[in-house]
Amino acid sequence: MSNSSRNGPNVKIVPPLVFLAGILVGSVANIWMPTRIVPNPVVWAVGGIFVVCGLVLTGSAALKFKSAGTTVRPDRAPSALVMSGPYRISRNPMYLGLAVISLGIAIADQSFWTLIALAIVVALIQRHAIEPEEAFLEKRFGTEYLSYKHRVRRWI
């Protein structure tokens, strides 16, 4: 997944797959070295709430992109700067939503390993998706993006 820096951000990873890989690695590690400490119904409920919240956040952010007529693919050049809806509280609500989903799964699975994997995934997303996207957006949208960047935090 890449594009020349002229045509789009130089993002070479597929962020949803990176989050999925973190969940899978953490879940497999949890099978070999379980970390269960709380009764399952409690953690399933709490984890489920996080998963639902993450799905709503990611979905609403993607719908904002769709209604603006721009792409959700991080390797493609956006045609519009979206600053409304969940983008009023986070510059990256889709990534934040995926992180919240991963956190919910880690809680529901009582997997310390998935939490460790999530920290690594967030660092990878930050470095290999968000930073190239932000550099591209600064070039493409100039002061409008810089003003938005000043007003709204990267994550929350």
SS (H, E, C) 54-118: HHHHHHHHHHHHHHHCCCCCCCCCCCCCCCCHHHHCCCCHHHHHHHHHHHHHHHHCCCHHHHHHH
> In the prediction, which pLDDT does 39 show?
78
Confirm whether 2 is domain-assigned.
Answer: no
Number of separate helices (H) and strands (E) present in the chain: 5, 0
> In the prediction, which pLDDT does 18 show?
98
Confirm whether 24 is domain-assigned.
Answer: no
Confirm whether 91 is domain-assigned.
Answer: yes
> In the prediction, which pLDDT does 40 show?
84
Which residues, given as ranges, of the chain have pLDDT below 70?
1-6
Domain containing residue 43:
39-151
Confirm whether 90 is domain-assigned.
Answer: yes
Confirm whether 74 is domain-assigned.
Answer: yes
d(CA 89, CA 154): 9
Q: pTM of the predicted model, to two decimals?
A: 0.91
Confirm whether 80 is domain-assigned.
Answer: yes
Both tokens assigned to 155: 């994550």
> In the prediction, which pLDDT does 4 show?
43
Confirm whether 106 is domain-assigned.
Answer: yes
Both tokens assigned to 65: 């992109």
- The domain total for the chain is 1
Confirm whether 109 is domain-assigned.
Answer: yes
d(CA 103, CA 139): 33
> In the prediction, which pLDDT does 6 show?
59
Report which DSSP code applies to 37.
-
